[in-house]
Structure 1
Amino acid sequence: MKKNKVINLFGNNKDIKNAAVKYSALLEKFMSPFAKEFVNFEYQEDIFEFAINAWNFGNMSSILDNDEFEEIISNAKDDAINYDLLRKMIAYKSLNFEEFSNFIIDFDIKTTNKKLSITVVTENEETYMTNVLLQSSETELTEDEFDENYINRSAISIKPLQPFIDWHNAIYTDATIDTTDLNDINIYLINSTSYADIEAHLKKKFDKYFMLELEGWHTNKTEWPQRRNYKMFKKWFEVTISTAVFDLEKSPVSKSEF
């Protein structure tokens, strides 16, 4: 899925009334003024996740007092590239969509006849905040339960299978590979709650993983398989999930761009 298709969602800026409103339409309207600022996002899912986080933060800013909210939002400063955009979108949500107080908890992107559409799942303010508090109390770690180097992530390992090998060898006829060349596989860290329904997670994210795996072996996107779907993903890759990740090293973990 290409990022430029996201811009096609932003054509309808008509006023949306509160009665029986579709939050998917609200989300598109909310994202519209910022379409040109999403150029640094490579994947559609990342754009929508970012916008949904901004929407939910905007809701929280109306509920919490300023000190509480600033303490929460300060955690987002680690992503310095997008922090300013996040703050702008939060302010825009509070100013222009204050009456729409539902939180967006999930979304699904579909492409039909080359047209992109998104559906969302929402929760009202009371339900969402109750669930947040319950989740926080359930996941609070103590020294008796976990080592201090426990990382609040799950891990997905993705191993290419024979169809992937066949695709690669059709391109690199003079440098073919086999299963023995695929022992060094990629591992992706995900939100520690996503493993609860890994099938739903993969159905939403499969093309992002697909593209990352393809790019690791061949950067010419015109020679990638073009009609990728979830059924094809399952045939091309073996996926293994690890629900607990520990860092046993003393040096801190660092993140960097490829």
Structure 2
Amino acid sequence: MKNKIINLFENKTIIQNQGIKYAQLLEQFIEPFANEFQDSEYMEDILEFAINAWNLGNMKALLPEGESDASINSIREKDINVDLLSRMIDYKIEKFKEYSNFIVDYELKETSRDHVLSVITQPEDAYLSTMFNTMDEEFSEEDFEENLINRSAIILKPLQPFFDWCSNLYPDEIDDMKETNMYLISEDIEDVEGWLKKKFDKLFMLELEAWHTNKKEWPQKRNYKMFKQWFQVDISTMIFDLEKEPVSKY
């Protein structure tokens, strides 16, 4: 994924933990708010929330007063803890203002003892230039074919190890285990394999929880190799909605 990010920006302004250790800064940034994330099951969700707060803090420090508040207000209707986000943004400006690089990617590696975090950052001038160029290149709605959804899909088909685990718990429901689940992701994710290597355990846990909520009886030492052994992964980049009624989330 790191190489993918570097190629994406096509310049040499990406900094991979050289000099200032932004991974350590990010951990220090999150620490005072740790209790706020007690309901979060996935470390990736916490990191992505904190990275958004970090980058929005950088933006707020650059923008005229009031403009950044308008940006935050625009996301109030989304499923986001805006109060926590606002407090973290202010904390970023108060305690970490001199660290002005934007965090553009991260990697969380699991070791035998702990998780090791590394981040990739970009100086503000290069980040803003890339952001504005991307905005100029975005397609308008008219550029999309009718009914084509701006998502890609990951389809997980359970394989024999998953069936074996389920059948030990629910031997009478083997036929229902053959159903597949689909997960929609951003169409902008070009390296889906790299995305899966980061997010596989979240999908793994969702699949396990759909059948059995007692986490103590889940396979404990899950890794990407095991994920690929338990599920056949199919990718679809063309998703069409043939219905007139808007899609709803529940």
What is the TM-score when the length of structure 1 is the normalising length?
A: 0.82
My pick for the range that moved more, 241-250 or 28-37, is: 241-250
Per-residue CA distance 1:103-143 (angstroms, 9 max, x = gap): 11111112323322211111111221122122222222241
Q: How many residues align?
A: 233
SS at match of 1:252: coil
My pick for the range that moved more, 53-62 or 242-251, is: 242-251
The one of 186, 189, 202 equivalent to 1:191 is 186
Does 1:153 find its partner at 2:116? no
Within 5 Å, give how 1:124-143 maps onto structure 2.
Answer: 124-143=123-142
* Other-structure match for 1:42: 41
- Alpha-carbon distance, 1:26 to partner: 0.3
Q: Give distance in 1, aligned partners of 2:83 and 2:114.
A: 31
Q: Give distance in 2, aligned partners of 1:248 and 1:71.
A: 35
Within 5 Å, give how 1:76-87 maps onto structure 2.
Answer: 76-87=75-86
Change (3 A) 1:138 1:238: farther
- Alpha-carbon distance, 1:22 to partner: 0.2
SS at match of 2:156: strand
AA partner of residue 121 (structure 1): I
Aligned-CA RMSD value: 2.1
* Other-structure match for 1:221: 215
Does 1:72 find its partner at 2:71? yes
My pick for the range that moved more, 84-93 or 61-70, is: 61-70
Change (3 A) 1:74 1:157: farther
* Other-structure match for 1:177: 174
- Alpha-carbon distance, 1:67 to partner: 4.5
- Alpha-carbon distance, 1:79 to partner: 3.1
SS at match of 1:77: coil
Change (3 A) 1:141 1:166: same
Q: Give distance in 2, aligned partners of 1:124 and 1:72.
A: 21
Does 1:53 find its partner at 2:52? yes
- Alpha-carbon distance, 1:54 to partner: 0.5
SS at match of 1:76: coil
Does 1:21 find its partner at 2:16? no
Q: Give distance in 2, aligned partners of 1:244 and 1:78.
A: 28
Does 1:200 find its partner at 2:194? yes
- Alpha-carbon distance, 1:36 to partner: 0.3
- 5+ unaligned residues in a row in structure 1: which ranges? 1-18
* Other-structure match for 2:8: none
Within 5 Å, give how 1:232-243 maps onto structure 2.
Answer: 232-243=226-237
Q: Give distance in 1, aligned partners of 2:237 and 2:223.
A: 26
* Other-structure match for 1:11: none
- Alpha-carbon distance, 1:83 to partner: 1.2
Q: Is the 8 A contact 2:163 2:177 kept in 1?
A: no
Change (3 A) 1:58 1:214: same
Q: Give distance in 2, aligned partners of 1:202 and 1:56.
A: 24
My pick for the range that moved more, 121-130 or 209-218, is: 121-130
AA partner of residue 231 (structure 1): K
AA partner of residue 200 (structure 1): G
Does 1:164 find its partner at 2:168? no
Per-residue CA distance 1:30-89 (angstroms, 9 max, x = gap): 001100000221211101110001101111112222454334333421335511111111
AA partner of residue 169 (structure 2): I
Per-residue CA distance 1:120-171 (angstroms, 9 max, x = gap): 1111112211221222222222414433x55433221111111111111122
- Alpha-carbon distance, 1:98 to partner: 0.9
Q: Give distance in 2, aligned partners of 1:251 and 1:131.
A: 36
Change (3 A) 1:65 1:201: same
- Alpha-carbon distance, 1:97 to partner: 0.8
AA partner of residue 86 (structure 1): L
